[in-house]
């Protein structure tokens, strides 16, 4: 343009929209002019630039929208220059209804995420931002009585977000005041809660009243419970509560545990106790898994300080339970008959029972229960619980001394067996019917390891009903206090099982010979099926190992370590270790070998249990590793019975001979020259000495012998034995053994005869001479008409022949054949007859001669005399 001309510059739009939320705003000219329209006179070259700012819109909204429209004072909303830094701010609290509800700022959301109410923002583009608010309701807290507000601790929230599950917790006890209840009031409801802590869902303004009251002074007097249990079982805790005379009231009993799988029901119970009242309360423990930990018992709403008990607890496995159960069955069937026998009263027992009743002034017409109570008091007073070996009742009473059982101050020691035997025998002496019981408790004999705790008690028919008497625990089942909350209708056996210290009953066996003697009554005590799986059981006590092999020496099973103990009311370190093998029902024990391994000199006892005619029966044998470190044993059937015997195989002339013996074979010698074997056995206490020898008929055939020619010499004396020969195997039974530490048995497989023929000078056989044989091991006397001395073993013999005052001594030796002996004697019956006959004939001849002489003389004499007259 020419100099001097006039130029008009005009901005048509002060604001230019680019897109939604973004725009350009005219800011001015480069020469600092801000007019949208201007007239310029051209005076020379000039440059004019219209300058615009780019702006973005920051849109700030509130949530929830409807409740706060027009009420919030929000800073930062509007158009802002690009990349500018702005400050955002809003109200922290917005009251909607005074003392009822309000909104509180929670956070910024949308194009920004922040929980700071005042924050900065860089405007780098259009922004949609929300100020998020949360609805709150007023919580009004009231404490009654108000003066304890300073000594309790409780929730302190006054405003609570809507939808919050508010935790209500307060001090449970403050001095003699205890929390009683929450009273929660809303717009349209009132509710009461006694649990502390508790929760409430806040959806409106609430008034919460916390009520305290003076507490009863209730304490936990006792908590009876087992220390252990077995998986799958259950037991009870009996908690005894006692209140003072001050005031009555409700208390809460809580039981809890940290053992996974231990279920306690009920875990919480509210109980009312009047002034001075005591109550026995029961909870049930179910052991669904094995584990260990502790059980806590807590008493709430009481002013007493004695309000909690903590006890450690172990739950053992199902495998342990089955093992303990089977041990109990085996031990019970082993001892029941003996214990029943030991309970038979003798005169000593009858005198003692009469003294007991006389001192207690119990007359004959008193109830049997009163008599049982007096006898039980005597038994518990006179026996000190400890481990010990039981005996029959008469012998137990003898231990009290000569001054009588009632007058002595002495106590005897014994476990539950001694208590049972003495109690049962004294009751029988006063005509009370008694049945002994052996059972395995539902607790372990060791708190840390599984051990079968075997207790003994009796069932007695008292005043027409059967009652359980557990003497060592001083229990007559019908006389004990029972919890008020237990179900009725249980049998006397089930009631006994629920006594807490028992922990339930795993198995119980009673001696009651009606159909069978060892009667399994486990189900009746448990109220459910017994966990035992009856097969066969083998166990050995002593520091040895046991294994089972079949008849072909194939390995079947090893013994596992276990233990048991007789109940002695708390004794320690008296568990009896054992090695046990459980065999399935189909295993025939007669065809297995029990092998014992250990150090030389170790003594042990093997026990075997099998089911015979549906009755568990246990036999045992005491033995020792006397001359070797391994011994084999077998179960041997004897009719309806069986025994355990040591099993050995010896060799005679390269052929095997089996020996089964209830004593230990300590030495063996083959005497081939004599066709004999010699074995030496060592006996063990309480074993009935028995030896069974089995050999092949071929052994005798090879030496031209038969089974009836077998002879046994035991301890230097010929002894009769029982021999069975089926044509293949010869079985020899020797049961006439003396009670000696050692027995030496020489078995001759062949014997011989000494054949005598006695003749007189007329060559007539003498049949009535006495012949006495004196041998090294045998002496016999017999008449000569028997002809032979049979079954003579090799050796030197002396024979004394006596007849009519004449004696002749003959020495002979038998080696390996029969011996014939001929002897001529002069003083025989035939010689006497010969001499008498001769004399008689002489006399007859003389008489005849005399007769002939007189026949000639007499006639002549008569003739002479006749002529003279």
Residue 484 in this model has a pLDDT that exceeds 50? yes
Closest listed residue to residue 454, CA positions, set 413, 419, 417, 424: 417
Band of the pLDDT at 867, cuts 50, 70, 90?
very low
664-671 and 655-661 beta bridge pairing: unpaired
Written as six digits, the tokens of 727 are 């044509």
Fold equal for 218-316 and 752-827: yes
> In whole angstroms, what is the distance from residue 835 CA to residue 813 CA?
37
> In whole angstroms, what is the distance from residue 481 CA to residue 478 CA?
9
- Within 8 A by CB and 6+ apart from 41, the residues are 4, 5, 6, 7
Q: What is the pLDDT of residue 869?
A: 36
Of 123-137, 521-535, 663-677, where does the model show the most confidence?
A: 123-137
Q: What is the 3-state secondary structure (H, E, C) of 295-331?
A: EEEEEECCCCCCCEEEEEEEEECHHHHHHHHHHHHHH
Cβ-based neighbour number of residue 571 at 10 Å:
16
Residue 862 in this model has a pLDDT that exceeds 70? no
Task: Give me the phi and psi of 686, to 5 degrees please.
Answer: 70, 0
Closest listed residue to residue 510, CA positions, set 467, 460, 476, 459: 459
Q: Are 376 and 423 in contact (CB under 8 A)?
A: yes
pLDDT tens by residue, 151-179: 899 988 899 999 999 999 999 888 888 88
Q: What is the pLDDT of residue 515?
A: 67
Q: Where are the domains of the chain?
A: 6-135, 145-214, 218-316, 319-526, 641-750, 752-827, 833-869
pLDDT tens by residue, 63-112: 887 566 667 788 888 999 999 999 999 888 888 787 899 999 999 999 99
Q: What is the pLDDT of residue 739?
A: 67
Region 799-825: what's the mean pLDDT? Answer: 87
> In whole angstroms, what is the distance from residue 344 CA to residue 425 CA?
6
How do the residues of the chain divide into helix, strand and coil, expressed in percent and rounded to 5?
20, 50, 35
Angle between helices 416-429 and 347-359 (to 10 degrees): 80
Task: Give the 3-state secondary structure of residue 453.
Answer: strand
**CA 326, 330, 334 angle in degrees (round to 5)?**
165
Is 319-526 in CATH node 1.20.1730? no
Q: What is the pLDDT of residue 826?
A: 64
Please report the DSSP string for 82-151 in residue order. TTEEEEEB--SEEEEETTTEEEEEEEEEES--B--SSEEEEESS-EEEEEEEEEEEEEEEEEESGGGGGG
Q: Is 226 left (phi over 0), alpha (psi -120 to 50) or beta?
A: beta
Region 757-782: what's the mean pLDDT? Answer: 85
Instruction: Domain 218-316: state its class.
Output: mainly beta
User: Which residue, chain included where needed, has tokens 């279920």?
Assistant: 263
Closest listed residue to residue 370, CA positions, set 472, 467, 499, 489: 467
Cβ-based neighbour number of residue 165 at 10 Å:
9
Region 594-606: what's the mean pLDDT? Answer: 92
> In whole angstroms, what is the distance from residue 470 CA to residue 416 CA?
8
Closest listed residue to residue 820, CA positions, set 793, 851, 776, 787: 787
Q: Is 162 exposed, middle or buried (0-12, 13-18, 19+ CB in 10 A)?
A: middle
Angle between helices 368-382 and 416-429 (to 10 degrees): 140
Task: Give the 3-state secondary structure of residue 191.
Answer: strand
Written as six digits, the tokens of 168 are 């209500």
Q: What is the pLDDT of residue 860?
A: 59
Q: Name the more confident of 260 and 827.
A: 260
pLDDT tens by residue, 496-513: 999 999 999 999 999 887
- Within 8 A by CB and 6+ apart from 628, the residues are 600
Closest listed residue to residue 230, CA positions, set 479, 464, 507: 507
> In whole angstroms, what is the distance from residue 397 CA to residue 793 CA?
53
pLDDT tens by residue, 434-475: 999 999 999 999 999 999 999 999 999 999 999 999 999 999
Band of the pLDDT at 686, cuts 50, 70, 90?
low
- In order of 88, 109, 674, 858, the CA distances from 119 in angstroms are 5, 12, 120, 194
> In whole angstroms, what is the distance from residue 292 CA to residue 310 CA?
14
Q: Is 348 left (phi over 0), alpha (psi -120 to 50) or beta?
A: alpha
- Asked if residue 461 has a cis previous peptide bond (ω within 30° of 0), the answer is no
DSSP β-bridge partners for residue 847 = none
- In order of 603, 623, 745, the CA distances from 685 in angstroms are 11, 9, 19
> In whole angstroms, what is the distance from residue 163 CA to residue 482 CA?
48
> In whole angstroms, what is the distance from residue 799 CA to residue 771 CA?
7
Residue 809 in this model has a pLDDT that exceeds 80? yes
**Distance between alpha carbon 257 and the CA centroid of its chain, in Å?**
23
Q: What is the pLDDT of residue 857?
A: 67
Q: Residues for the chain: how many in total?
A: 869
pLDDT tens by residue, 371-409: 999 999 999 999 998 888 899 999 999 888 777 788 888
Q: Are 158 and 99 in contact (CB under 8 A)?
A: no
Written as six digits, the tokens of 224 are 């009876």
Q: What is the pLDDT of residue 864?
A: 55
Residue 410 in this model has a pLDDT that exceeds 60? yes
Q: What is the pLDDT of residue 139?
A: 94
- Within 8 A by CB and 6+ apart from 1, the residues are 7, 42
> In whole angstroms, what is the distance from residue 661 CA to residue 145 CA?
87
Residue 353 in this model has a pLDDT that exceeds 90? yes
User: Which residue, chain included where needed, has tokens 């013994």?
Assistant: 559
- Within 8 A by CB and 6+ apart from 520, the residues are 329, 507, 508, 509, 530, 616
Task: Give the 3-state secondary structure of residue 281.
Answer: strand
Residue 865 in this model has a pLDDT that exceeds 70? no
Please report the DSSP string for 642-697 in residue order. EEEEEEEEEEETTEEEEEEESSEEEEEEEEGGGTEEEEEEE--TTPPP-EEEEEEH
Q: Are 432 and 461 in contact (CB under 8 A)?
A: yes
Q: Name the more confident of 530 and 360.
A: 360
Q: What is the mean pLDDT of the chain?
A: 88
Please state which CATH number belongs to domain 752-827.
2.60.40.10
> In whole angstroms, what is the distance from residue 655 CA to residue 670 CA?
11
Q: What is the pLDDT of residue 868?
A: 42
Written as six digits, the tokens of 349 are 């027992």
> In whole angstroms, what is the distance from residue 326 CA to residue 581 CA?
10
Q: What is the pLDDT of residue 517?
A: 83
Query: Over pLDDT 90: what percentage of the chain?
Result: 51
Q: Alpha-carbon torsion 376, 379, 382, 386, what sign?
A: negative
Task: Give the 3-state secondary structure of residue 606.
Answer: strand
Q: Which helix (H) or strand (E) holds 823?
A: strand 819-824
Q: What is the pLDDT of residue 673?
A: 80
Closest listed residue to residue 62, CA positions, set 119, 130, 120: 130
Q: Are 617 and 563 in contact (CB under 8 A)?
A: no
First to last CA, the chain: 256
Cβ-based neighbour number of residue 849 at 10 Å:
10
Band of the pLDDT at 861, cuts 50, 70, 90?
low
Q: What is the pLDDT of residue 806?
A: 81
- Asked if residue 559 has a cis previous peptide bond (ω within 30° of 0), the answer is no
Task: Give me the phi and psi of 330, to 5 degrees please.
Answer: -65, -45
Cα torsion at 724, 726, 729, 730 (round to 10°)?
20
DSSP state of 776: S
**Distance between alpha carbon 527 and the CA centroid of its chain, in Å?**
18
């Amino acid at each position: 343009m020419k100099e001097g001309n006039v130029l008009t510059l005009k901005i048509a739009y002060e604001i230019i929209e680019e897109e939604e939320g973004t725009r350009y705003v005219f800011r001015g000219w480069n020469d600092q002019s801000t007019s949208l329209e201007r007239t310029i006179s051209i005076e020379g070259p000039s440059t004019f630039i219209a300058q615009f700012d780019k702006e973005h819109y920051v849109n700030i909204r509130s949530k929830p929208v409807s409740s706060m429209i027009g009420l919030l004072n929000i800073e930062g909303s509007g158009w802002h220059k690009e990349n500018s830094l702005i400050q955002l701010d809003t109200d922290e609290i917005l009251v909607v209804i005074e003392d009822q509800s309000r909104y509180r700022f929670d956070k910024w959301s949308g194009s920004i995420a922040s929980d700071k109410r005042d924050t900065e923002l860089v405007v780098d583009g259009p922004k949609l931002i929300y100020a998020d608010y949360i609805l709150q309701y007023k919580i009004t807290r009231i404490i009654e009585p108000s003066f304890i507000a300073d000594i309790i601790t409780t929730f302190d929230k006054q405003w609570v977000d809507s939808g919050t599950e508010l935790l209500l917790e307060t001090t449970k006890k403050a001095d003699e005041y205890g929390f009683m209840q929450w009273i929660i009031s809303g717009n349209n409801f009132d509710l009461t809660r006694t649990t502390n802590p508790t929760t409430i869902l806040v959806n409106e303004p609430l008034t919460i009243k916390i009520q305290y009251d003076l507490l009863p002074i209730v304490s936990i007097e006792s908590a009876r419970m087992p220390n252990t249990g077995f998986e799958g079982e259950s037991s009870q805790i009996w908690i005894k509560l006692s209140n003072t005379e001050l005031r009555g009231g409700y208390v809460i009993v809580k039981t809890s545990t940290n053992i996974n799988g231990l279920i306690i029901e009920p875990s919480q119970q509210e109980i009312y106790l009047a002034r001075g009242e005591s109550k026995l309360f029961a909870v049930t423990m179910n052991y669904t898994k094995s584990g260990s930990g502790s059980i806590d018992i807590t008493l709430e709403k009481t002013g007493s300080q004695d309000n909690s008990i903590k006890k450690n607890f172990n739950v053992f496995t199902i495998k342990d339970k089955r093992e303990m159960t089977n041990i109990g069955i085996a031990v019970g069937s082993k001892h029941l008959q003996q214990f029943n026998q030991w309970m038979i009263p003798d005169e000593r027992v009858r005198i003692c029972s009469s003294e007991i009743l006389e001192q207690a002034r119990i007359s004959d017409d008193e109830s049997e229960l009163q008599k049982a109570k007096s006898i039980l008091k005597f038994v518990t007073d006179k026996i000190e619980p400890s481990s010990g070996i039981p005996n029959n009742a008469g012998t137990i009473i003898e231990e009290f001394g000569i001054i009588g059982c009632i007058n002595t101050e002495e106590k005897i020691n014994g476990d539950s067996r001694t208590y049972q035997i003495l109690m049962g025998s004294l009751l029988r002496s006063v005509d009370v019917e008694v049945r002994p019981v052996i059972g395995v408790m539902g607790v372990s004999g060791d708190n840390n390891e599984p051990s079968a705790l075997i207790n003994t008690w009796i069932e007695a028919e008292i005043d027409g009903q059967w009652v359980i008497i557990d003497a060592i625990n001083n229990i007559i089942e019908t006389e004990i206090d029972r919890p008020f909350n237990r179900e009725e209708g249980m049998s006397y056996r089930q009631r006994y099982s629920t006594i807490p210290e028992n922990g339930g009953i795993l198995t119980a066996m009673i001696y009651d010979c009606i159909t069978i003697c060892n009667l399994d009554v486990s189900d009746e005590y448990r109220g459910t099926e017994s966990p035992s799986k009856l097969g066969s059981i083998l166990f050995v006590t002593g520091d040895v190992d046991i294994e089972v092999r079949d008849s072909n020496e194939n390995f079947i099973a090893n013994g596992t370590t276990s233990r048991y103990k007789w109940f002695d009311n708390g004794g320690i370190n008296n568990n009896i270790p054992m090695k046990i093998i459980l065999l399935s029902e189909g295993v025939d024990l007669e065809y297995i070998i029990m092998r014992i391994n250990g150090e030389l000199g170790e003594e042990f006892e093997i026990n075997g249990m099998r089911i015979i005619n549906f009755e568990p029966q246990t036999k045992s044998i005491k033995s020792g590793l006397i001359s070797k470190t391994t011994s084999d044993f077998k179960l041997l059937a004897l009719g309806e019975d069986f025994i355990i015997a040591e099993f050995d195989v010896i060799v005679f002339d390269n052929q095997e001979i089996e020996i089964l013996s209830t004593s230990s074979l300590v030495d063996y010698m083959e005497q081939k020259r004599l066709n004999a074997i010699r074995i030496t056995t060592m006996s063990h206490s309480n074993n009935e000495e028995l030896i069974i020898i089995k050999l092949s008929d071929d052994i005798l055939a090879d030496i031209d012998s038969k089974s009836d020619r077998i002879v046994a010499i035991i301890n230097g004396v010929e002894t009769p034995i029982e021999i069975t020969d089926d044509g293949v195997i010869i079985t020899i039974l020797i049961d006439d053994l003396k009670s000696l530490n050692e027995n030496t048995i020489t078995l001759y497989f062949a014997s011989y005869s000494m054949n005598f023929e006695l003749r007189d000078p007329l060559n007539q056989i003498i049949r009535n001479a006495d012949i006495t044989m004196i041998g090294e091991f045998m002496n016999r006397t017999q008449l000569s008409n028997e002809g032979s001395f049979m079954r003579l073993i090799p050796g030197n013999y002396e024979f004394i022949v006596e007849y009519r005052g004449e004696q002749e001594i003959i020495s002979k030796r038998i080696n390996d054949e029969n011996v014939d002996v001929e002897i001529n004697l002069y003083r025989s019956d035939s010689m006497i007859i010969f001499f008498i006959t001769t004399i008689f004939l002489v006399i007859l001849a003389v008489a005849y001669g005399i007769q002939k002489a007189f026949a000639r003389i007499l006639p002549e004499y008569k003739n002479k005399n006749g002529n003279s007259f």
